[in-house]
Structure 1
């Protein structure tokens, strides 16, 4: 029935596209992707990184996702943690799971993002 995950969508407040781009492209290294013309008028912004697709859609009233979240795998969590700290972010370390180290950060809108490394 299901064959793959196409994208993850998070909500953002109206007018937050520049903040989203500074965070997701500038800090996390994703690339802004064009939205279809039929959807562009709704606002929001889309990002890609290899096979990962993340869509940010405008929601009014906006409420950040504080528990539900995407989890992105990274190659070197220690290096990523240092990069995030250099950008002024304070990652929250969580309890490791068997074979997984992980941290959490919030995007500029308060949405929870997990970054993990398989070890």
Structure 2
């Protein structure tokens, strides 16, 4: 009965929204999605790229997700990795997933993100 993944939520500390906006829009190239007013009052921010949505909520006792992570499929992974590095983000390549090229990076509050692209063959 599950039809699709609607969004992934990550956590962040209070007051980190400006740094998150800069990273998710300027570095990753996502678009900020306005939160409904009742939810905006809680802090945090939402981002989208095509059908993909990442919601980032404020968590009082925040600890970054260092193992758990969203896996974001990209096109032209080499160019995407270069984009991140040009904008100051660290890129850590990992060749352990058969059939894919992938790397990990971290957002400004330390959450782990995986970027991957299937290989041809």
TM-score normalised by structure 1 residue count:
0.96
- Mapping of 1:1-119 within 5 angstroms? 1-119=1-119
C-alpha offsets along residues 83-118 of structure 1, whole Å, 9 cap, x if unaligned? 111111220111242210000000000000001111
CA distance in 1, matches of 2:94, 2:3: 30
CA distance in 2, matches of 1:104, 1:97: 12
- Of residues 8-17 and 94-103 in structure 1, the stretch that sits farther from structure 2 once superposed is 94-103
Where do 4+ consecutive residues of structure 1 move more than 6 Å? none
Structure 1: gaps spanning 5 or more residues: none
Corresponding pairs, count: 119
Query: Over aligned residues, Cα RMSD in angstroms?
Result: 0.8
C-alpha offsets along residues 30-52 of structure 1, whole Å, 9 cap, x if unaligned? 10001111111100000111100
CA drift of 1:82 comes to: 1.1
